[in-house]
Amino acid sequence: MPVSKILELYARNGHSLIDNGLNEAALPLADADTALQLFSQQRWHVLGGDVYRLDESGRFEPTYENWFYDGVDGLQSVAVARDFVSGLAGRPVYIVFVVEDRD
């Protein structure tokens, strides 16, 4: 069930980065915690992520604030992601999560 909720979250609130040449979607910071909760329920590891903002023309541009996790503990990977994301609080940014199903 959580996979369908993840897909629904991205379909509803995700923003395509295809114009940036990336086959990825960015979530508004406000949806990051929901995504992390769903990743945790699915037992996915959060390997890292990238941060984007909208420029004056409405195009996504990287802020070059990225993080990564190369450990093996899925819950710890989500905790690291939460810590990073919480440091972005209040900013009008978007997050691209890199996840992996290691189980």
Torsion sign over Cα 62, 36, 14, 19: positive
Split into its structural domains, the chain has a count of: 1
Q: What is the C-alpha separation between 48 and 68, in angstroms, rounded?
A: 4
Tell me the residue ranges of DSSP E strands in 1-103. Answer: 15-16, 25-28, 45-54, 60-62, 67-68, 93-100
The pLDDT of residue 27 is 98
Does residue 3 carry a pLDDT above 90? Answer: no
Does residue 81 carry a pLDDT above 90? Answer: yes
Provide the CATH number for the domain around residue 73: 3.30.190.30
List all residues 6 or more positions away from 80 whose beta carbon is below 8 Å from its beta carbon: 46, 67, 69
- Is the pTM higher than 0.95? The answer reads no
Determine the Cα angle at 51 with ends 17 and 40, to 5°. 95
Q: What is the C-alpha separation between 96 and 28, in angstroms, rounded?
A: 9
pLDDT, tens digit (0-9, with 9 covering 90-100), for 29-72: 999 999 999 999 999 999 999 999 999 999 999 999 999 999 99
Identify the domain containing residue 11 by its residue range: 2-100
Does residue 102 carry a pLDDT above 70? Answer: no
The pLDDT of residue 103 is 60
